[in-house]
Amino acid sequence: MGKNLIQQRRGRGNLLYRAPSHKYKGDVRNPVVSKETIQGTVKEFLHCPGHTAPLAKIQMGGKPVLMLATEGMAIGQSIAIGDAASAVSGNTLPLGQISEGTYIYNVENRPGDGGRFVRSGGTHASVVSHSGDNTIVQLPSGKFKTLLSTCRATLGVVAGGGRKEKPFAKAGKHYHAAMAKSWHWPQVRGVAMNPVDHPYGGGAHQHKGKPGSVKHGSPVGRKVGSVSPKRMGRLKR
């Protein structure tokens, strides 16, 4: 009988694969506001091991709010969130009020969810076009996504860019970075394993020995590779 696959162990959610909660400073979300615009001031910047970008503590209406820092943001800067906020870097507005070609980040998937897309350090999306009640946004991956124009986004680029330019230099540095965010590292190829550890393991040389696509009804110990893919092979152009 074979062993559990890594994705099976990870799916159980034990402490080894769970992101440690004590390495997060708090909930980083856009506050829910009504039609009026709220103003705030940047008080300090925080280092959060669970995020790839520095956090900014904003004093808004007598209570502190955490948000992802914008590139170029400074202590004492005024921040506005709402429909009537001016279109300057660091402010949060509905997508429908942001002009085409503007860099944005922390984009909401549904109005009021606090931000779901483009939250990594140094990343940004851009507003492509407006069509009725929808806005088309180009994500950092290049994918175009259509969202409601009432979804909010923050103007600018997420701070903390360039973090990947410095190499890790040794495995220990990479290990500690992976443990901070509960990454799956090091990642071993299935064909390099033994048959007891992975469906692709074993053999006289490293090869799968079976098709790389599986159906949804396959047992969990066989679900590796492309699960129920829509298409196979290279695209012919």
At 149-186, the pLDDT tens digits run 999 999 999 999 998 899 999 999 999 888 877 787 88
The CATH number of the domain covering residues in 21-155: 2.30.30.30
How crowded is residue 180: how many other Cβ atoms within 10 Å of its Cβ? 13
pLDDT at 11: 84
DSSP string, 179-223: HHHT---S---GGGS-TTT-TT--SSSS---S-SEE-TTS-GGG-
The 3-state secondary structure of 13-39 reads CCCCCCCCHHHCCCCCCCCCCCCCCEE
pLDDT at 205: 95
- On the 0-12 / 13-18 / 19+ scale of CB atoms within 10 A, 135 is buried
How crowded is residue 166: how many other Cβ atoms within 10 Å of its Cβ? 8
pLDDT at 108: 96
Annotated domain spans of the chain: 6-16+184-227, 21-155
Domain 6-16+184-227 has CATH 4.10.950.10: yes
pLDDT at 30: 87
CB distance 129 to 135 below 8 Å: yes
pLDDT at 181: 77
Kindly report the length of the chain: 237
pLDDT at 237: 67
Low-confidence ranges of the chain (pLDDT < 70): 1, 34-35, 237
pLDDT at 153: 96
pLDDT at 14: 82
Question: Do 6-16+184-227 and 21-155 show the same overall fold?
Answer: no
Q: 3-state DSSP call for residue 126?
A: strand
**CA torsion through residues 202, 205, 210, 214, sign:** positive
CB distance 108 to 147 below 8 Å: yes
Question: Which residues in 71-105 are b (16+ Cβ under 10 Å) and which e?
Answer: bebeeebebbbbeebeeebbbbbbbbebeeebbbb
pLDDT at 34: 66
